[in-house]
Amino acid sequence: MWDERKDQNRWQMKFILPEHNEVLRQLHLAKHKIERPTLSPEQIEEFEYTIAAAMSEDLPLDFELYDDGFVRKVNGRVVYVDHLLKEFRVKEDSGDTNFIRFADILNVKTA
């Protein structure tokens, strides 16, 4: 009689080459990527208000940013806004400074 478990075990990979591992990693990443969401003008206005209020009171903010198909989180204080380049600088507690483009903001709230 045919044993299904033996047949499945026969075709399982016993080792993975580095090239295969990289392809599997890339497939996994591609599977979890998201499309850039479209924000309403009301959401953008709310973000601007939250950032301006936090800058005036020197409060830290939690940002969710779109980063090449993924959501990246940044926490820190806005130290500079460049209206010409449409970006601003956020200084984290660790001392690192992040350059954030207005277009990459998905969400922002006070920490």
The tens digit of pLDDT for each residue in 23-43 reads 887 787 777 788 888 999 999
- pLDDT for 9: 59
**pTM (global) more than 0.75:** no
CA distance 61 to 74: 8
The backbone torsions φ and ψ at residue 92, rounded to the nearest 5 degrees and listed phi first, read -80, 165
- pLDDT for 53: 94
- pLDDT for 18: 77
Is the per-residue pLDDT at 111 higher than 80? yes
Instruction: Give the distance, in angstroms, between the CA of residue 54 and the centroid of all CA atoms in the same chain.
Output: 22
Is 62 in contact with 109 (CB distance < 8 Å)? yes
All structural domains of the chain, each given as residue ranges with its CATH number in brackets, are 41-110 (2.30.30.100)
Q: What is the token pair recorded at 67?
A: 């980063």
- Specify the length of the chain in residues: 111
DSSP string for 16-33: --HHHHHHHHHHHHHHT-
Report pLDDT digits (tens) over 51-83. 999 999 999 999 999 998 889 999 999 999 998
